[in-house]
Amino acid sequence: MSVLFASIARFKNQPRTIRFQLLLSVNLTLSIALAGLLILQYYREIEHATAQMRTGLNDEAIAIQSAVSHLIQDHTDHQDRNVQSYINKVCSEMRKSASPGHRIIVSLNGKYIQTGHASPDSEAILSEFDFTNPKSFNLADFQQHQLVIGYKTGKGASVFVIETLKNVRRAIRTKVLLQLGVLGALGLIAAGIVNLVLLKFVGRPLNQLLKTVENIRSGNLDTMAPGFTSSEMNLLSSSINSMSAALKENDRDRRSQMEKARKIQQYLLPHGVQISQLETAHIFEPADSVAGDYYDFLPLSDGSWLICIADVSGHGVPAAMGAAMLKSLLLAASEKPPYDPVTIMKEVNRQFTASILPGNFASMFLARWEPESHTLTWVSAGHLPALLQKKSGALETLKSTGLLVGIDLNAEWEQKTTILSSEDRILLFSDGVTESTNAEGTLFGVDRLTDLFSHRTDSSLLTEIMRINETIAKWRSNASPNDDLTLVALERQSVADLNQSGGRSSRENEELNVFTR
């Protein structure tokens, strides 16, 4: 039962089509009007048939009274028996025709002679009336007891002819049911015509307009709604076409603005940077036109370099604005000593926390590379662990050393130091790498990335991270990433490369910035 009530509740709460609502309202109105008309017609027919029956019974009573008067004058003997025989014959003929409830009462010499059988209830009802005084009759009293009476009084005899209303109503009911069937058939035909009209002038145009709106919602802003024969539908069609044109213009402006924002963000990324004794390669692939990922290589006045990768929460323009803010804060914080990462991170965090909207934050890996000592000093604000691969094949992780940026004005981080040997490699990445999903919704994960990075080849650093990026793209079936994806690889140059280049990297620093939209 609860399932039934739940189904009824769902049906009641479910939106209905305009055609359904129009048909329901029209048919409901017609049904109520038809029912009222039939009820009114029924009572009118009853009144009319009752009046006709009363007239007929009066005529019958006059005829019988005349016959009885002649009968008692012509036959003075056995008057009662003769009258009884006569009215029995008359009543029998009437019952055979159309009046099975016919009853005749003759008042003769102070007594009643009657024919026709009645139920005990009818006998009790008839006993309430004084047939010797017809003037005391109230026809409404008879009708109240479902009876109709016609009578004729005379000097020798008075005749009363009685019929039940049940017979009248049975005949009227049959007639009304026949009318109901005819009107019902006409109603169905009318409903069918209304349905066809609504389908042609409302249903089909609305379906076409709905398809047009769906196409516009899907991004096909060139879709135009067709014209219709009705002014209202034409007005609605024109409004949709105007809306589509306005959306197309707004989309063109938005794309133009996003293209400018994309170029600005691309310009903010490092290009053609050469870091002493360190080869770099990087891939940047936004999930939208602009990204919340940020990476940079900033030279310091003492000859060292800042290396940064960050991931601002969210996507799109707000995240990109946060990334641009991080760059400006990092530039400002690195203008004067001390240049240690923890001091710079604290200053960036203080300014970022005071400027960013509540609830926004960023993860950041910040390192200082000192070429002469081959020292990498670093802090990590909640960023994914970087992967450090020694030339020997040993693998280490550079884990987070403190809170995310933007959470606490007075946050602290632990600073750590790593000495890079010749041909040691480091891989920095954003969560768009590890959170890439396949068709089954399985994450690529840190373990797969670590295993992929550990299979070292003699290829260039850029070739290596392109191999990683291609594997990730295959994992997600070459679909666009659902989060910004950044890969930054570092490698300390070998002695042979350094001797050949006079202490500089033998290869140009390599990059691949992919803007998918």
Separation CA 431–CA 215 (nearest Å): 34
pLDDT score for 77: 64
**Residue range 74-84: average pLDDT?**
71
Residue 310 tokens, joined: 């960050």
Separation CA 353–CA 514 (nearest Å): 30
User: Using one digit for the tens of pLDDT, what is the confidence trace for 84-93?
Assistant: 777 777 777 7
**Residue range 451-458: average pLDDT?**
87
| Percent of the chain at pLDDT exceeding 70 | 81
- Cβ atoms within 10 Å of 453's Cβ, excluding its own: 22
pLDDT score for 466: 93
Separation CA 478–CA 269 (nearest Å): 25
Query: Measured between alpha carbons, how far is residue 442 from residues 77, 438, 439, 500 in Å?
Result: 118, 6, 8, 46
| Most distant CA atoms of the chain, gap in Å | 163
Which band of pLDDT confidence, cut at 50, 70 and 90, is reported for residue 432? very high
Of 287, 305, 277, 307, the residue nearest 295 (C-alpha): 307
Separation CA 340–CA 323 (nearest Å): 21
**Residue range 10-15: average pLDDT?**
56
User: Using one digit for the tens of pLDDT, what is the confidence trace for 312-331?
Assistant: 998 888 899 999 999 999 99
Is residue 381 within 8 A of residue 413, CB to CB? The reply is yes
The number of C-alpha atoms within 13 Å of 279 and in the hemisphere containing its C-beta is 23
**Residue range 123-134: average pLDDT?**
60
pLDDT score for 455: 86
User: Using one digit for the tens of pLDDT, what is the confidence trace for 147-179?
Assistant: 777 778 877 788 888 877 776 677 667 776 777
> 3-class DSSP state for residue 376?
strand
Which band of pLDDT confidence, cut at 50, 70 and 90, is reported for residue 295? very high
pLDDT score for 451: 94
pLDDT score for 503: 45
pLDDT score for 325: 94
> 3-class DSSP state for residue 491?
strand
Query: Measured between alpha carbons, how far is residue 245 from residues 224, 236, 239, 253, 456 in Å?
Result: 9, 14, 10, 12, 54
Is residue 493 within 8 A of residue 503, CB to CB? The reply is no
| Among 186-190, 444-448, 508-512, the range of highest mean pLDDT | 444-448
DSSP 148: E
Separation CA 435–CA 441 (nearest Å): 10
Which band of pLDDT confidence, cut at 50, 70 and 90, is reported for residue 98? low
> Helices 18-74 and 165-198, interaxial angle, to 10°?
160
- Cβ atoms within 10 Å of 461's Cβ, excluding its own: 19
Separation CA 393–CA 294 (nearest Å): 29
Is residue 378 within 8 A of residue 488, CB to CB? The reply is no
**23-37, 117-131, 333-347, 404-418 — which is least confidently predicted?**
117-131
pLDDT score for 435: 93
pLDDT score for 182: 80
- On average, the pLDDT of the chain sits at 81
The residue that leads in pLDDT, 490 or 507, is 490
Which band of pLDDT confidence, cut at 50, 70 and 90, is reported for residue 2? low
pLDDT score of 305 more than 80: yes
Q: 377: which strand partners?
A: 368, 417
**Residue range 262-288: average pLDDT?**
90
The residue that leads in pLDDT, 201 or 259, is 259
Separation CA 21–CA 27 (nearest Å): 10
With residue 211 as reference, give the H or E element that holds it. Answer: helix 204-217
Q: What is the pTM of this model?
A: 0.60
Kind of pairing between the strands at 510-513 and 278-285: parallel
Would you say the C-alpha torsion 478, 482, 484, 486 has a positive or negative sign?
Answer: negative
Of 400, 403, 423, the residue nearest 411 (C-alpha): 403
- Composition of the chain by helix, strand, coil, percent to 5: 50, 20, 30
pLDDT score for 92: 72
Q: How big is the CA angle at 99 (ends 98 and 102), to the nearest 5 degrees? A: 160
382: Cβ–Cβ under 8 A, 6 or more apart, which residues? 363, 364, 400, 402, 403, 404, 405
Kind of pairing between the strands at 485-492 and 395-398: unpaired
User: Using one digit for the tens of pLDDT, what is the confidence trace for 382-420?
Assistant: 999 999 999 888 999 999 999 999 999 999 999 999 999
Which band of pLDDT confidence, cut at 50, 70 and 90, is reported for residue 510? low
